[in-house]
Amino acid sequence: MKKKRPNIPLSRFLPTSRKEMDALGWDQPDVIFVSGDAYVDHPSFAAAILGRWLEKHGFRVCILAQPDWKSIKPWHDLGPPRLFYAVSAGAMDSMINHYTANRKRRNADAYSPNGEINKRPDRANAVYSQRCKEAYKGIPVVCGGVEASLRRVAHYDYWSDKVMQSSLVSSKASLIAFGSGENTLLKIAQRLDAGEDIKALRDLRGVAYLLGMKEELPDHRFDDVACDNKTISLPSYEEVADSHQAFAEATRKLHQETNPLNARRLTQMHGDRLAVINPPPLPIDTETMDAVHDLPYTRKSHPSYEKVGPIPAWQTIKDSVQIMRGCFGGCTFCSITLHQGRAIQSRSHESVMKEVNALAKDPDFKGHVSDLGGPTANMYRMRCSKPEVEKICRRLSCVDPKVCKLLDTSHTPLVQLMKESREVEGIKKVNIASGIRMDLARESKLYMKDLVEHHVGGHLKVAPEHVSDSVLSLMKKPAQHTFEEFSERFKEASRRAGKDQYLIPYFIASHPGSGIEEMVELAQFLKRNDYRPQQVQDFIPAPMDIATCMYYTGIDPTTLKRVKVARNPSDRAPQRALLQYYKPENYWSVRKSLEKIGRDDLIGNHPECLIPEKPPRGARIAGKRKPGGDRKGRHRNGKKREGYRWAARKGSKRG
């Protein structure tokens, strides 16, 4: 019998307009969330999570999603919030959302209806905050989300190619709330509601603020954990903007203070003003995680988007179930550990199963759970087995350079969860789409067996990222043999299950430490294993990442040793081409790279060669059509265009 689809009343969503507020009988909201993402009422979208969390605790919350930032009208239409504005650029840094690694404009935005672009400004956090202040003076503005969190100190901005001040300066926000925001925002709302001034809230964990020129640094103590309550001074904005060494030192100090159990307060001068960054928020406990996911989400996008088009990100995750937050991997190119924390924050088994059962009864559900995971697929319920050691530990990764012997890596709770979820009536398939930590997974035969037999849809995406051990070490990723061992165990488990399944590995080009030699090593690996990547990921330096420091300074901040970096487009393009060495259009670029490092042995017709001696048809045409593309120097830029066009026509006829 077909399940009947109920019409979800508009009142089930958090209001997004004055009309919707009037329908609820509201004269004024307590908090207005200004978001660069479209409003999706789903527990994978921050505005929905935090809005519902405040609603649960008695506050009236409105969502101002993707407002026209060129006008003050959207702010005036809603009126002022009684307590504060909560501003976020969205689920991604707006610059990464807008631009590729080549700094070219992307042609789609996964967090906008119909993938439409230009629905949020560049550096949206600062723009939205300034609009809030312009609309209603005196209303506190609290900025959060990835963009605010990862720009809370002076940072390198890839798109302007310079060091920028803390987003506290550009946004003029009252506070920045970084990390998981449930407890922080709730305390802000409750204390403002009790009549406290916004400046009194500077004693909270997980907030950053900018002192006035005449204000003194307050003597706040964080006695909820046994830390020494020292204040660590980072090199000033002016110093890090002027000196690569100072920038590397600031990055090292910042990342050493990420464990909330022992992290200390940080300060950084910006001219004559002081930016203060309090210790990170404590990890969210299981009870709170369960409560957050038990809120009355509709799991739908707001009805106002029905005539515009679906939201791609929502279509991808609408039938997924998040089971945990955080990551102890500490990959240098990834922001998850710095933003969500190193401690794994897991939901209870009962809470996850409650959501799976509810999803199975949804009339729109087709029987396939798209993912059961989080930042990673297989860190559920894993944590340090010695709390007394965890309190003093300052390791940036629990698995690099090798898995810590104190880390509880049992997959048993996860395997039980996977088994029970796939046995729910109405569930046809439970896929695992989150990234799998291969160095952990390969050690659990039971997990590998269950994963391969029941949770892989023909292929499994994994991210070894590179094969050069020197590059992998800089990434804080496991050595190359880890992927090969995982691959063999995956193949063997698939064979035993009688299934024809394969891996799709993802690799990064132009990561710090990776040069032509390392990319040739990767290309040889791809050739030997018959991998032909259709999608190539270029390294993008995100604010505050360790790898970004390497890219900008040429220094590894953890060791202060020099690192080679491909910064120029002319150096980055060959690395990308080597990842797809088999494409005819990449022939001349690959050949030039091989000749440059003396690897002519990889040019020819032997099985181990990357490219043939004779250019393929597509390469010959491409080389002649592109000015400067011919390796013998013909048809260079600035020469006669007529000759270039003639050569292209002639080349295409000859084939």
* Tens-digit pLDDT profile for residues 44-59: 999 999 999 999 999 9
Place of tokens 């891996």: 503
- Asked if 189 and 31 touch (Cβ cutoff 8 Å), the reply is yes
Domain interval for residue 124: 10-213
* Claim to verify: residue 492 and residue 598 sit in the same structural domain: yes
Q: What is the CATH number of the domain that holds 607?
A: 3.30.750.200
Please say if the pLDDT value at position 622 is more than 80.
Answer: no
What pLDDT is stored for residue 102 in this prediction?
92
* Within-domain flag for 577: yes
Which two structure tokens, joined as six digits, stand for 312? Answer: 């791609």
534 CB contacts (<8 Å, ≥6 apart)?
none
Q: Are residues 598 and 485 in the same domain?
A: yes
Taking alpha carbons only, the member of 124, 170, 165, 130 closest to residue 147 is 124
Half-sphere exposure of 507 (CA within 13 A, CB side): 30
- With respect to residue 411, please indicate whether it lies within any of the assigned structural domains: no
576 and 628 fall within a common domain: no
Q: How many Å apart are CA 563 and CA 349, to the nearest integer? A: 44
| d(C-alpha 353, C-alpha 290), whole Å | 11
pLDDT at 18 over 60: yes
Q: Do 633 and 512 share a structural domain?
A: no
Among 213, 235, 268, the domain boundary falls at 213
- DSSP assignment of 209-265 equals EE--TTPPPP----TTS-----EEEPPPHHHHHH-HHHHHHHHHHHHHT--TTT--E
Q: How does residue 226 score in pLDDT terms, banded at 50, 70 and 90?
A: confident
More confident residue, 621 or 582: 582
622 and 556 co-located in one domain: no
Same domain assignment for residues 146 and 172: yes
Task: Report the C-alpha gap between 424 and 218 in whole angstroms.
Answer: 54
Tell me, what amino acid is at 54? L
For 614, which DSSP code?
A: S
Distance CA 534, CA 580 (A): 8
C-alpha to C-alpha distances, 49 to 14, 43, 296, 298, 461, nearest whole angstrom: 11, 6, 10, 12, 28
Average pLDDT value for the chain: 92
**Interval 500-532: pLDDT, tens:** 999 999 999 999 999 999 999 999 999 999 999
Q: Specify which residues 407 forms β-bridges with.
A: 384
Higher pLDDT, 164 or 341: 164
Distances (CA, A) of 464 to 100, 152, 170, 484, 505: 21, 30, 37, 10, 6
pLDDT at 135 over 60: yes
For residues 581 and 521, the answer to whether their CB atoms sit within 8 Å is no
Is 341 part of a structural domain of the chain?
Answer: no
Please give the Cα distance from 442 to 554 (Å, whole number).
34
The answer on 606 and 624 residing in a single domain is no
* DSSP state at residue 378: S
Tokens found for residue 569: 């487009």
End-to-end CA distance of the chain: 60
Q: Are residues 593 and 643 in the same domain?
A: no
Per the structure block, which two tokens stand in for 618? 């597509």
Mean pLDDT across 481-497: 94
User: Please, which residues bridge with residue 31 across strands?
Assistant: 61, 84
450: left (phi over 0), alpha (psi -120 to 50) or beta: alpha
pLDDT at 9: 64
Task: Say what the pLDDT of residue 8 is.
Answer: 61
**pLDDT tens-digit series, residues 544-577:** 999 999 999 999 999 999 999 999 999 999 999 9
Other Cβ atoms closer than 10 A to 218 = 14
585 lies in some domain: yes
pLDDT category at 223 given cuts 50, 70, 90 is confident
Shared domain for 158 and 22, answered yes or no, is yes
φ, ψ of residue 330 in degrees (nearest 5): 65, 25
Look up residue 520 and give its amino acid. V
So what's the pLDDT on residue 649?
Answer: 32
Q: Which of 213, 228, 261 is the last residue of a domain?
A: 213
Per-residue pLDDT of 298-355, as tens digits, reads: 999 999 999 999 999 999 999 999 999 999 999 999 998 888 888 999 999 999 999 9
pLDDT for the residue numbered 170: 96
Is 329 within 8 Å of 376 (Cβ atoms)? Answer: yes
Least confident window among 83-92, 108-117, 382-391, 619-628? 619-628
Evaluate whether residue 371 is within a structural domain.
no
Q: Token pair of 366, please?
A: 């087709």
Picking from 34, 37, 257, 33, the residue whose alpha carbon sits closest to that of residue 152 is: 257
Query: Same domain, yes or no, for 502 and 623?
Result: no
Same domain assignment for residues 516 and 622 = no
Query: Worst-scoring range by mean pLDDT, 53-57, 64-68, 210-214, 310-314?
Result: 210-214
What lies within 8 Å, CB to CB, of 117 at 6+ separation is: 98, 105, 106, 107, 108, 109
Residues 576-613 have pLDDT tens digits of 999 999 999 999 999 999 999 999 999 999 999 999 99
The amino acid occupying position 84 is F
Domain finish residue from 191, 213, 235: 213
Say what the pLDDT of residue 220 is: 87
Q: What are phi and psi of 527, to 5 degrees?
A: -65, -45
The residues near 255 (Cβ < 8 Å, ≥ 6 apart) are 338, 396, 546, 557, 558
Contact 335, 146 (CB under 8 A): yes
Q: What tokens appear for 509 in the block?
A: 């080009």
**48: number of Cβ within 10 Å:** 25
The angle, 0 to 180 degrees and rounded to 10, between the axes of the packed helices 412-422 and 349-360 is 20
Residue 324 lies in a domain: no
CB 230 within 8 A of CB 222: no
- Residue 288 within any structural domain of the chain: no
Q: What is the CATH number of the domain that holds 197?
A: 3.40.50.280
| Helices H / strands E in the chain, number of each | 26, 24
User: Tens digits of per-residue pLDDT, 408-441?
Assistant: 999 999 999 999 999 999 999 999 999 999 999 9
User: What was the pLDDT predicted at 7?
Assistant: 56
H-helix or E-strand containing 607? none
Query: What 8-state DSSP symbol labels residue 13?
Result: S
User: Which stretches of 343-411 are DSSP H helices?
Assistant: 349-360, 387-390
Question: What SS3 class is residue 653?
Answer: helix
Tokens of residue 180, six digits: 């998981």
List pLDDT tens digits, range 363-392: 999 999 999 999 999 999 999 999 999 999
Q: What is the DSSP string of 176-209?
A: EE-S--HHHHHHHHHHHHTT--GGGGGGSTTEEE
Residue 269 resides in a domain:
no
Outline where 442-510 has alpha helix (H).
445-454, 469-475, 480-496
Q: How far is CA 115 from the centre of its chain?
A: 18
Q: What is the pLDDT of residue 619?
A: 87
Q: Which 8-state DSSP code applies to residue 560?
A: T
Count up the domains in the chain and report the number.
Answer: 3
My answer on whether 640 and 571 are in the same domain is: no
Q: How many whole angstroms separate alpha carbon 146 and alpha carbon 140?
A: 20
Q: What is the pLDDT of residues 264-290, one digit of tens each?
A: 999 999 999 999 999 999 999 999 999
Distance CA 334, CA 587 (A): 32
User: What is the value of pTM for the model shown?
Assistant: 0.91
Strand ranges (E), 407-565: 429-430, 459-465, 502-509, 537-538, 555-556, 561-562
Between CA 463 and CA 507 the distance in angstroms is 7
E strand intervals along 60-166: 61-65, 84-88, 141-144, 155-157, 162-164
